[in-house]
Amino acid sequence: MSKVLAGIVAAMLLAGCSGPPITTTARSTTPTASPSSQAPAARQPAPQESAVPLEAAFERTINQVLPSIVQITTEDGLGSGIVYDSAGHILTNAHVVGTAKTMNVTLATGSKPHDARLVKSFGGGDLAVIKVDDPKGLTPARFGDSSKLRVGQMVLAMGNPLGLSGSVTQGIVSALGRTVTEPQDPDSPGATITGAIQTSAAINPGNSGGGLVDLSGQVIGIPTLAATDRDLGGGAAPGIGFAIPSNTATDIAAQIIRNGKVTNSHRAALGIRGSTLIGDDSQPAGVAVAKVDKGSAAAKAGIEPGDVIISLNGRKTSTMAALAEALSALQPGQKAKVGVVRLDGSTTTITVTLGVLPGD
């Protein structure tokens, strides 16, 4: 997490991309617009009566949901969260919490700080649950069914961007079923998010962990990433943000609250720890296996430290992110063919029965 702001992650768009690579980060910034040298052509204002119902829907939704949005402040920065239940559990992103065990929570609509503690983080899915000591005055949100979302549906993003408490931005559901990944670093758990909601609602630093809301007042996603474009020097790619679907978020939250940890991530795993290997041409050449978890799928199949994983089911895995993305398309229990380069330089293919990503 940043020393100033929470919501620091970077990710690469995998599905439906074309042209130069696009990366995503919750630290995207909005460039200052230059004034136009030409006055825009005069347009007839829309009839007031056609705008009022939509405005009323926005106002109604904001009034319903904003009391459930909170600001989470740790020693390292701030982010957003959503009141999950009347017991004081709050759902947020793991990267908002970072390594903090205690934090302060204030309502987006204004309140005295509530002391809160971490219940559990699930770094693999960039989700976490915290709990306030005194839930008095907290309003639980209503969570919707994200499987029923439609492209083009209007949504609002609510949170605390740049520390501006209780901010709201508007957009649409731009696409569904995206896969985005976050590179692992001290501020990011390195999560791979599957089934992500792409939205045009602006997501800025501090929005992470807040609510993506439909116009019926239901939370249908957790804003997590905003896009940047490498060709723009890491500058913002306007109108491209990503949210974790509410069905995923509430499933993980329920497991944490019930069991104190994630017992079933529903995600496939090899069970290795490694890093991207850079080849002689200074390009990524595979995943160097540093450790194989005891009893894991990789251990049972004979993958060893020192091996370099170069493919999964024929798909090249030149980086850790690529390997995580390839695994995200598979299910626990499935068999997968893993291409491996051994220490002696020989290449082999190993069949692995995939395990379950642990709920760290």
Q: Which residues are catalytically annotated?
A: 95, 126, 208
> CB atoms < 10 A from the CB of 227, how many?
22
Q: Which class for 287: exposed (0-12), middle (13-18), buried (19 or more C-beta within 10 A)?
A: buried
> CB atoms < 10 A from the CB of 293, how many?
15
Token pair 């905003």: residue: 226
Token pair 């068999």: residue: 335
Determine the distance from the C-alpha atom of residue 35 to the mean position of all C-alpha atoms in its chain, rounded to a whole number.
34
Amino acid at 36: S
Cα atoms in the Cβ-side hemisphere of radius 13 Å centred on 306: 7
